[in-house]
Structure 1
């Protein structure tokens, strides 16, 4: 007799005010497996997660846990059933200690007061089970995000966790921290915990997933078994061949638009780079190599100590963000939520922020809000931003749509050079295709484009030339057929020029 799957999702549908978010979704999650859930933004992943963890109820269909049909009245019911969720936006109380955060919701009491000794013991046991060692009395807000992620997982595993749902767990982690987390996830699966792993990072799915289920437009497409074929997964997600993802026209580059000569700063040493009109220049490197610092120095966010920056023939003595924007250089930061958006304000305001005068949406010093909204709406249509509810607060949009709002800034003014820093981190495949199309269109229009990315496939797919950085220096400059993953990776570890 075949054992029941841990979770059986059968014909689940969910409607919101006439909008169908999920339609007849069915798949199973087995005990002790890492089951990846993939799909574009808007595919229905978040809705399904919220149904599993008791935030929403399905409009139709059923969910069975260990063979018994379940209907949760709220998240607490889901937790009692052993379903725990760690969302992408961490729920840490910065002022509380590590141990206090781990015990939130289940504080041990003694005579009506918190039993601190027992709390510390339980927190230590929870972290030990993850193979993690964090200072229990330290303020959680003082620790790096990777440690905060471990606190969330430790809290989720308090008690008997049967299904752990991880929503984009490595989206804000560096390479080493991501590897540590993946190791912890595989260890939990070996202990019998089922993992529903939601991510846009294909290499993570290939590394750890036993199976992957794909959603598209709210519908279940297919469950695929390991070993994973990235091209097939992408095709299932976007409904077209994976080869269509990268946009890369053949162009003849023109004059030099950005020239960096011997640039030195607190983190950069003798960096030289050129960007010509009509080309895409990739900058690759490991975490901490200085590639993001290069863009920030060019934009005037980091002080320059040595060398020079020339923009379209003009030597810039002291670059500043306002001055560089005025001269036609636009920088798109990697951390869109912290540096690119005002999360509590409407999305259209984040799109136009800093561009009111060049976009001509002011009159006699006053902002014309109707004109602002109309302009933002027009650009949002170009970028295929969904849903087109631009008066919603920025924080309520998906990562891909938030990124499109940041990228809209380049459409608000006359730009010559675009510096994209990790432009597709934490966004889905469909949104990536839109970003790549925008990059290619800028180059076709004669703009100079720099793409800074930790994704080698992305760098190779969009770039005409590639600079590789190591320890704050340029370690290699690759062109043509030399732009390969092997050559880039070798340059990560080769000695940088003295």
Structure 2
């Protein structure tokens, strides 16, 4: 790891404190946003801020970069005690932040955005050659293949984020703050960002990383500071902690109590698969039943076929042989329209491409599956706009959907709120069966709790719920029965107290590899 330059002739060794905050308080009127806050960032580390919405993360990073002042306590930056810090002074000292909402001018070029407010001049003119050379130097350093003359409005979201990072590093940046940087990136784009972050850490930068996504934290974090209700809880080394411990620290509840207790009252069978094989070959010879008043979970490694089972139940995967029945009626030539009329609701794992119309309003997305219902239409031709708006307002309140307003578009929402918007659509008409494929993928902890409460309510109201999840703890704790799949086949079914981690894992792998897999999981 390289030492970090602090200015002409000055060098900071790896591990040296860059940001030191102690006993810091910040209030807005009677509301205490931060109370007795502690935080330290060192050169050459990625330090994750971890907490629920409202925990104080945004307030803390705004204080660090000078957007907000604090009431009491101490803030030391590069060893200097600071009061009355402004964004301009923080930037001059080497603090840069990339907010979740970008601060770029779409009509301007990459180069113009990078130098906005910091243009290089020679006499009475802009030193365009010097500016172009400096831009190209930072783009080359980061490995960004961006045209400095391209207008920002023509760039994809991931490339716009590259511009923001390049803008932060164009000058003498020593502290880089990244606020939920992967919120709208694809997996491939996120992986590229992680490589860049690791490169910058190795160069000696101190990086504050705000995220709730466990895989990102596991890969990137050196240390993690946990906040709850504006208070400092603790700082831990990532290598010395676990997801269970972090969840408990963040929520203040044990990992087991994190999942709700769902009353089981099994009723009539509402969906059955009888020796079903899919045309795609992703699932073969499936036979099982789904009953009212209980949660059926599907577990298995990636590619085992569990997601395809749910898609088949909704008519998105064609069957080659066998039969699917809903409420005793065979679903011949099954398709999504027939599934809806058979009172089957499906929530896909990919919200952006399959689950929601991203450029349509909340009202459109929450009612689109029920426009043929007399509640929302007259004679199936005239829409009842008042009923649509009333239902959407009710769902926003009931599901605690955080939104800029009723006319907001789906793509303006966070991952957890997009998921809750999908759930709102599922509550727009009467369904008997609710199919959840990866119900909490990419959502924060608070949204997970709220989604789990919805699943609990649906089940205890007598609905049949099916969950397919890659999170073993989720499918185990949320399900009354668990079906384990491997290579497209059902290899085990566990019920009640028989649903244990060791029992589920024993079915994940073939017998020859079972012991080795369990040993790897334990380690």
> Structure 1 length as normaliser, TM-score?
0.76
Q: Deviations over 1:213-260 (max 9, x none)?
A: 33334x124123233365554344334444322123352533332233
Q: What residue in structure 2 maps to residue 361 of structure 1?
A: 376
Q: Corresponding residue for 1:274?
A: 288
Q: Does 1:45 align with 2:57?
A: yes
Structure 1 residue 146 displacement after superposition: 9.2
Structure 1 residue 164 displacement after superposition:
3.1
Conserved 8 A contact 2:139-2:145: no
The corresponding residue for 1:131 is none
Partner SS state of residue 251, structure 1: coil
Residue among 408, 419, 424 paired with 1:408? 424
Superposed, 1:456-475 pairs within 5 Å as 456-471=472-487, 473-474=488-489
Which whole-Å CA distance do the structure 2 matches of 1:299 and 1:371 have between them? 27
Q: Pick closer, same or farther for the CA change 1:116–1:405 going to 2, 3 Å.
A: same
Mapped to 1, the partners of 2:482 and 2:204 lie a distance apart of: 44
The Cα offsets for residues 248-301 of structure 1, whole Å up to 9 and x where unpaired, read as: 335253333223342324362426253422222222344454443433333234
Give the Cα separation in 2 of the matches to 1:450 and 1:287. 18
Alignment root-mean-square deviation, CA: 4.7
Is 2:340 the counterpart of 1:325?
Answer: yes
- Mapped contact 1:361–1:371 kept (Cα < 8 A): yes
Tell me how far apart the structure 2 counterparts of residues 434 and 123 of structure 1 sit (CA, whole Å): 42
- Residue in 1 aligned with 2:491? 476
Alpha carbons 2:114, 2:166 under 8 Å: kept: no
Identify which of 399, 410, 421 aligns with 1:383: 399
The corresponding residue for 1:125 is: 141
Distance 1:175 1:246 in 2: 27
Question: Which residue among 192, 198, 201 is the counterpart of 2:204?
Answer: 192
Q: Which ranges in structure 1 are unaligned for 5 or more consecutive residues?
A: 95-99, 128-133
Q: 1:338 to 1:465 in 2, by over 3 A?
A: same
Distance 1:418 1:22 in 2: 39
Contact 1:171/1:425 (CA < 8 Å) preserved in 2? Answer: no
Residue 449 of structure 2 is matched in structure 1 by 433
Q: Give the distance between the partners of 1:288 and 1:175, measured in 2 at CA.
A: 17
Does 2:251 align with 1:251?
A: no
CA distance in 2, matches of 1:229, 1:460: 18
Q: Deviations over 1:44-89 (max 9, x none)?
A: 43454456556x5447568553225376766x87655444445567
Mapped partners of 2:335, 2:232: distance in 1: 49
Instruction: Describe the SS at the equivalent of 2:267.
Output: coil
Could you say which residue in structure 2 is the equivalent of 1:213? 225
Q: Which region of structure 1 is more displaced relative to structure 2, 352-361 or 323-332?
A: 352-361
Q: Which residues of 2 match residues 60-99 of structure 1 at below 5 A? A: 64-66=76-78, 67-69=80-82, 81-86=93-98
Counterpart-to-counterpart distance in 1, 2:299 and 2:111: 37
Deviations 1:398-454 (A, max 9, x none): 433332222112221111111112211222222212211221222223322121222
Indicate the larger mover: 198-207 or 117-126.
117-126
Q: Supply the distance in 1 between the matched residues of 2:170 and 2:281 (Cα, whole angstroms).
A: 42
Q: Secondary structure at the match of 1:30?
A: strand
Please say if residues 264 and 270 of structure 1, whose CA atoms lie closer than 8 Å, have aligned partners that are also in contact.
yes
Other-structure match for 1:97: none
What displacement does 1:477 show?
2.5
| Per-residue deviation, 1:478 | 3.6
Partner of 1:130: none
The more displaced of 413-422 and 153-162 is 153-162
Paired residues of 1:275 and 1:448 also in contact (CA < 8 A): no
Equivalent residue, structure 2, for 1:228: 241
User: What does residue 370 of structure 1 align with?
Assistant: 386
Contact 1:259–1:272 at 8 Å: present in 2 too?
no
Q: How many residues align?
A: 479
The 1-side partners of 2:491 and 2:353 are apart by: 31
Q: Is the 8 A contact 1:14 1:58 kept in 2?
A: no
Tell me the residue number matched to 1:335: 350
Contact 1:126 1:155 in 2 (8 A): no
Q: Is 2:38–2:232's contact at 8 Å kept on the other side of the alignment?
A: no
Change (3 A) 1:4 1:459: same
C-alpha separation between the residues in 2 aligned to 1:22 and 1:393? Answer: 29
Instruction: Provide TM-score, normalisation by structure 2.
Output: 0.72
Q: Which residue of the partner structure matches residue 7 of structure 2?
A: none
Residues 58, 177 of structure 1: alpha-carbon distance in 2 compared, 3 angstrom cutoff: same
Cα distance in structure 1, aligned partners of 2:437 and 2:20: 39
* Distance verdict in 2 for CA 1:304–1:380, change over 3 Å: same
* 1:402 alignment partner, SS class: helix
CA drift at 1:175 = 8.6
Q: Deviations over 1:464-497 (max 9, x none)?
A: 23334455x136334145544455456555499x
